[in-house]
Structure 1
Amino acid sequence: MGRRASDMAYVRLRTEIVDWRIPPGTVLAEVELSGRLGVSRTPVREALSRLVADGLAAPQGGRGVTVTAVSLDDARDLFDVRVALDGRAAALAARRADPAVFAELGDRLRAAADVLRLDEDRSGNDTDAYYALVARLDEAVDDAVANPHLFEAQRRLRAQLTRLRRLARDNPRRLATSALEHAAIADAIAAGDADLAVAATRLHLANALAGITTAITADAPRPAAAGVAP
């Protein structure tokens, strides 16, 4: 029961941080979180330790644990590592994957790009569906590569990178282009072309970092970060 409570607290807090519902600099107080999440302080403490290990939170001396800030230097450092890890994973997937899985994902990502281009209202539903497809692509690559050491190295990065990626939520043009870039990665893996898979991955990551850099340096409004629903 304790482990389930800890897992629940971790998943909920991680989601709220990644989605910017808990903004950078927020103090994660054990007592308040225990009451809001409906669990004892021990599971909350364990969840906070995992968030610190993920880099989403950090101890701040007498202030307890706070949500980490997002800086341009951090983004660049993360992408330096991501280029190496994701490029290697894409190459291995191209050699080991079931082509049909990635061919289908490529088609679905292209369809998502069409929807995103036409979405004038930006209700959020299409954006969420696109991010779910990206997560499915990541999972398919993980399954194809089947390297637990590479997976663990990528796991910690993904939470931080997902939070950064949310900075592009209000840029439909960038999201549509990103969907096509992901489709190109899926197509290259489906074709079994490791070199093309690496090149497509590097292109996508370069463009993603450029978009994040613009969002941070322009001091763009952050995605829905005001308050957390109970």
Structure 2
Amino acid sequence: MIQKIKTFLKTYHSLTKTYHPALLASAIVFYILMVILPLGGLVLYILGSLSIEVDGYPDLFGAIGNPRVSIVSSIILFFNLLWVSSQLTDTLNIVSDVVYTDVKKRIFWKRRIYSFLITLLLVFIIVVEIIAFLVVSFLIKRLANNQIFYQYPLLLSAIHILQILIQFVGIWILTSFVYKYVIPVKVKLSAVLKSCLGVTIVWFTMTFLYQSFFVSFQQEAYTVLYGALANIFLFLLWLYAISYVFIAGLIFNYYLYRKQ
């Protein structure tokens, strides 16, 4: 077991010298920051169109959901938001082309249209997952109003576990979808799900540490050091960490592809 771990670390170290995942992760973080607002606005606009209330929607994206806007203007705005958001997917495609060095690079305009369509599907998956999570939250509130939790306290724990599982499976599906369609070669779905399961577990662990350890316990220390920028610094650090894990998974998938 120890020998396998040593072999894995040695192999990964040699791969990092070739692909420089730290630099690739930095590029991904930049485009994540660039598409946060348009992607968030797009998702909230779709939810608003379905009459699903989201806190902060009227204030942040009121122009998008303004009923006085014409249908043509709404379509143009929707397309622009989706096109800008697809820049992140296009970056992931470029990074995949960089990693898969022995695969022919994709033509720009084909890759850009492909990224647009993939982003459209990603937005659809995100909306479906948000609706599923909201439905579970609604059921919890209804049960709480009926005071059923006082009769069956284990039921509350079970539903909270269900919420966590929905989040986990949602991220797992999103990650698997991205890996499946940004990699420039055909990959079996079973292999993608297996590798993405590890990536998702690491993401969940890092997010838990970010929320509970850094934010809750170390907030004062970081505030003293970075002042008002403490939250921004921690958020960027978390983004970089999950981007690095994504690149590491991509590189390791390529390593397995070469072995096959």
Structure exhibiting the larger radius of gyration computed from Cα positions: 2
Greater RCO structure (CA 8 Å; 6+ sep) = 1
Asked if Structure 1 and Structure 2 have the same fold, meaning a TM-score greater than 0.5 normalized by the shorter chain, the answer is no
Task: Indicate the structure with greater helix content.
Answer: 2
